[in-house]
Every structure is written in C-alpha cells, then in structure tokens.
Amino acid sequence: GRALLVLLLSATVSLLGGLIFGYELGIISGALLQLQIDFHLSCFKQEILVSALLIGALLASLVGGILIDRHGRRRAILVSNLVLLVGSLILTLVRSFIGLVIGRVTVGFAISVSSMACCIYVSEMVGAHQRGLLVSLYEAGITVGILLSYALNYVFADVDEGWRYMFGLAIAPTAMQFLSILFLPVNPVRLNSWDSDCQKGLIQLQDTEDRAAAKREPYKEKHYSFLDLFRTRDNMRRRTLVGLGLVLFQQFTGQPNVLGYASKIFHSVGFQSNSSAILASVGLGVMKVVATLVAMAFADKAGRRALLMAGCVVMAISVTTIGLTSRVSPLAMARDCTAAADPNASHSLTQHPLMPVSSQAAVSPILPASPAGAEFAATRSLTKAFAGAESRKVVPDSSLTQKRGLGGQTKEETVGSTGPPFSGAPWAEHTVLNWITLLSMMAFVSAFSIGFGPMTWLVLSEIYPAGIRGRAFAFCNSFNWAANLLISLSFLDLIDAIGFSWMFLLYGLMGVMAVIFIYLFVPETKGQSLEEIDQQFSRKR
C-alpha cells in the first residue's frame, strides 16, 4: 500500500511540475495583449518581458544544480514552489513594468529549478520498470499546461486586467505540488541487497553477466567535484558528451522554429481566418499530448535509445520534405515587430512581402523559445487569435491604416484591395505541396514528442552518479537554454542568408547526424536501476 501511495504521489509531482512549467510558458502570449495596452509596452519592452523568464531559467541552471545536490531533490522542489508562489504574487499585484520583469525572472528561476529537481527526484524514487513512464509524464504535463494556458488566455481575453488572473492562477497547481511532495520521503527507499531487489522485481537485470557483476560490486555512493564532469574518472567525460549531445541536437534539429511558423503553414493550405492560429497551436498541442502518451507507454518497453533513433529519423525525413517542398512553393517569413517603412532597411517589404507596415523604428529579434520540449515558439502563432487579427495580407499600396498588436501582429487592417488574403502569394497555387508541408510538420511535431521531447530528460536523469546528478543535469540544461535562444534569434538572419528551404534542409542534415550520434554514444538504459547504469558506465569505454 505504501509503495502504491509513493507511486501515485510521484506521478502527481511529475505531472504538476510539467503542468506549471507549460502554463508559465504559454500564459504570456495572451497576457501580453493586455499588458501592452495597460503598460504602453513597446516591442522592445515586450521582448524584455518575454526574455525575463529565460534569464531567470538560465540563472537557475547555473546555480540550481548545487542546490539540488547539496540540499536534496525534495527540498529543491519545495523551495522552487515557494519561489514560484512569490513570483506569481508579484505578477498578480504588480503596478509597474519593472515589477513585471522581476516577477517573470522569479518565475523563470523557479520553474527551471523545479524542472531539473522533478525529473531527478522521480527517477530516483520509482522502480526501474516505471521510471520511463513517470519521468515522461513530466513532458506530457508541459503540453497540457500550455493547452490550459491557451484556454485561460481565451477566457480572460475580454476581462479588465485579466492578465492578473492569468498569472495568479498558477498558484493553485503550485500549492498542490507543494502539498503532494510533503507526503513523499526525503530519500528513495532502498532495499537491503541486490538479491532482494531482483526478487521483488524492482530491477530487471539484462543478463547474467550484469547480475553477477552487480552482486560482486555493492554500490557505494561517491563524491564528485564539478570538474569531474570533464575527467576520465568513472567515464564521466563520456557521460557529459552524451548529455550535451542530446540537449544540443534537441535544439539544432529545428524544433523551436518549425512550431513558430506553424500558423503560416496552416494559412498556406487554406485556413485563412482566425481559426488558423487556434488550429496551429491547439491542434498541434493536442497532437503533442497524444504523441507524448505514446512515448510514455513505450519508454519502458521499446527503450529510450529506440525511441530517440526512431523519432530522429522521422524528424529528419519530415524537415527535409518541408525544405524540398518550400523550394517549389516558398513560404514568406516575416519578422515580428519590424520596421519596414524605410525602403533601404535591411528587412524591407520587398524581402518579406507578408509583413505589414510597422510604426516601430527598430528591428527587433524574434521572441525566444524555451527548452523542455521547446513549445514556447508555438505561443507566438496563437497571439493572432487572441488579438482578433486577420491573416497577414500582401500590401499592394500605401493606403493602409492599422492598429498594432503583439509582436507585429495587426488587430485591424484596411487594405486597398478587395482580393482574398494571400492571393498574390507565390505559394497560393501549390495546394498539394502545401498539404504535404502541413503533414510533414505534423509528423515532425509527433516525432519530437515521442523521441527528443521526453527521452532527453529521462536519459539525463539516469546516466550520472547520484553525487553529481543535480549539477550535471543543470550544466546540460544551461546549454539547452542557450542553444534554444541562439537558434530562435538567428533563424530569420539565416533565412536571409541562405534561404528558407536550405535552412530546413540543414535541419534535416542535423537530424541525420543526431541519429548517428545516438547510435554510437547513447546506451540503452531501460529496465536497469540507476546504480546498475552507473556501474555499466564506469566499466565500459
């Protein structure tokens, strides 16, 4: 009975941790539409507000690992819950822009610490044959949280100061997670010997050689310094290579940017109304939930390595297909919040024909996406729906009056043409190719949610020794945040330099390289205890 209670509470902690993470990532898309009016936010201030979460998360990934290793996973989650409650209260009661930024930095710090501590704590708390299911539950929680934030964005869109309710409602799941973890033990419950573990069925050793080795070598927890991550002791350098390779390939295969332009791909197949943004975000969100559930079901059966490789192969094929179809049927990419009135500007209407004229004077970069599944990019495509925006129109002449919305979106447009939206677009005639592009994008999103999405964090929570697990996880996580920011900010500059289709073909090449990397370096860890995985890494080159 106690084991079942621990299992249920561990599942609750994992799901709520992911749900809070996803909710905080997604809620800003709707809140910004009201905040920009209430606080008269320029595009630059909007980007600062969105980036504040990233800054807090980066800070957490630099210091959170020390907190997790020195003070324990359970205490780190409890502290992150308290910090998140403080951040949510600041955002709910704030009256100034500086207060908003401080609140978002605080929330970013809290959810980053929580994300690392939850994955590690749950992986240590449950048996070997349940670990894949429960750690993957965190990723499912992220997607559910984002979908919940979309729904609440819609509910509070017309409420006066509705953004206060949006930020404040994060307090409920945070309090629930805090109470749930109070009933869980500080450290994992360990049985007396390897023999009793095997008899109880908690650890399924892969072969007799491993079983004999496990009996000969009783597990002793060792102490490590941070620099040991780069040394040959216990094969730590290879473990670091595996961890960094997974988090960097997770970003460099293009996930943040494929989702960021989902709405445009939906437009190209004929969804010209406000529904396209909802379909692009909510529809893909539901698909991600379903795909993550599939990953949860097979993580402990097919194994982490098999799901990673299968997901990478499908991602590489899908993104290559998008690159090839876009050579025939190009999608015009537009910058958010971009000044285009000057014909000599580096990113003018002649280069980005779908971008409406902006009154802003400065070129601002695309808003950064988040790691942990990189779902935040999708929130940009939903802002049109909440703003009540029409699809972006080709600007035929200067007779245009408009009100500006979030990130360069338009709330109202009057265009001196009665033609249908996108009627002059070069890709309007290629219906079949556009549908192929759409299906490829859906396959890409599903493959990511089965492979890189949940499996990266599962493998990271398994491959390091307990004494340095928190710092190692945080070290890899910091590279994940930094790579995500780099990919998001450089995307449109790379498109200007090499073109949209070549950009996606490059992502396809990175997918192939990821398959080779996983095949050569990433071991299979299903059905093995954390101690056994550690011993295998220590023995094998």
The token pair that represents 48 in the structure block? 């600062």
- One domain, residues 467 and 533: yes
- One domain, residues 54 and 104: yes
166 against 326, higher pLDDT: 166
Residue of 453, 503, 442 lying closest to 280 (CA atoms): 442
pLDDT tens for each residue of 192-218: 333 333 333 333 333 445 445 544 555
Q: Percent of the chain beyond pLDDT 90?
A: 28
* Residue 404 pLDDT > 70: no
Could you list the residue range(s) of the whole structural domain that residue 100 is in?
A: 1-185
pLDDT at 185: 82
The token pair that represents 282 in the structure block? 């909510």
- One domain, residues 173 and 289: no
Question: What's the domain count of the chain?
Answer: 2
Q: Is residue 283 part of a domain?
A: yes
pLDDT at 278: 62
As a whole number, mean pLDDT of residues 418-427 equals 44
Q: Residue 110 sits in a domain of what CATH number?
A: 1.20.1250.20
pLDDT at 467: 84
As a whole number, mean pLDDT of residues 30-45 equals 87
Q: Is residue 508 part of a domain?
A: yes
pLDDT tens for each residue of 340-367: 333 333 333 333 333 333 223 222 333 3
Residue of 22, 295, 1, 243 lying closest to 133 (CA atoms): 295
pLDDT tier for residue 409 given thresholds of 50, 70 and 90: very low
- One domain, residues 113 and 244: no
- One domain, residues 134 and 275: no
Q: Is residue 383 part of a domain?
A: no
As a whole number, mean pLDDT of residues 419-448 equals 71
pLDDT at 416: 39
How far is 103 from 89, CA to CA, in rounded Å? 8
> What value does the mean pLDDT of the chain take?
75
- One domain, residues 159 and 261: no
Q: Is residue 295 part of a domain?
A: yes
Whether the CB-CB separation of 472 and 65 falls below 8 Å is answered with yes
* Residue 176 pLDDT > 90: yes
- One domain, residues 281 and 180: no
pLDDT tens for each residue of 119-156: 898 888 888 888 888 888 898 899 899 889 888 888 88
- One domain, residues 13 and 70: yes
φ and ψ at residue 393, rounded to 5 degrees? -115, 150
As a whole number, mean pLDDT of residues 255-281 equals 66
As a whole number, mean pLDDT of residues 385-412 equals 38
φ and ψ at residue 83, rounded to 5 degrees? -65, -40
Could you count the other beta carbons within 10 Å of the beta carbon of residue 225? 11
Residues 6 or more apart whose CB falls under 8 angstroms from that of 155 comprise none
- One domain, residues 181 and 232: no
Q: Is residue 222 part of a domain?
A: no
Among 18-27, 79-88, 163-172, 202-211, the minimum mean pLDDT is found in 202-211
pLDDT at 146: 87
pLDDT at 258: 75
- Of 127, 154, 185, the domain-final residue: 185
pLDDT at 275: 56
pLDDT at 535: 82
* Burial (CB count within 10 angstroms: exposed 0-12, middle 13-18, buried 19+), residue 479: middle
* Burial (CB count within 10 angstroms: exposed 0-12, middle 13-18, buried 19+), residue 489: middle
Whether the CB-CB separation of 510 and 249 falls below 8 Å is answered with yes
- One domain, residues 55 and 171: yes
402 strand-pairing partners: 413
Q: Is residue 43 part of a domain?
A: yes
Q: Is residue 145 part of a domain?
A: yes
How far is 309 from 452, CA to CA, in rounded Å? 9
As a whole number, mean pLDDT of residues 323-331 equals 79
* Residue 260 pLDDT > 70: no
Whether the CB-CB separation of 85 and 78 falls below 8 Å is answered with no
How far is 498 from 326, CA to CA, in rounded Å? 13
Q: Is the pTM here over 0.85, yes or no?
A: no
* Residue 98 pLDDT > 90: yes
Among 272-276, 443-447, 456-460, the minimum mean pLDDT is found in 272-276
Residue 217: how many CA atoms within 13 Å on its side-chain side?
A: 17
- Of 185, 207, 236, the domain-final residue: 185
Among 209-218, 389-398, 441-450, the minimum mean pLDDT is found in 389-398
Residue of 187, 177, 179 lying closest to 221 (CA atoms): 187
Range ranked top by mean pLDDT from 32-46, 103-117, 196-210, 462-476: 103-117
Among 352-361, 401-410, 515-524, 529-538, the minimum mean pLDDT is found in 352-361
How far is 420 from 423, CA to CA, in rounded Å? 5
Residue with tokens 């780099």: 486
Q: Is residue 389 part of a domain?
A: no
- Of 122, 157, 185, the domain-final residue: 185
431 against 300, higher pLDDT: 300
pLDDT tier for residue 371 given thresholds of 50, 70 and 90: very low
Among 109-118, 223-232, 291-300, 446-455, the minimum mean pLDDT is found in 223-232
* Residue 403 pLDDT > 70: no
pLDDT at 410: 37
- One domain, residues 238 and 104: no
Whether the CB-CB separation of 235 and 538 falls below 8 Å is answered with yes
pLDDT tens for each residue of 457-490: 899 988 888 888 889 999 999 998 888 878 877 7
- One domain, residues 460 and 521: yes
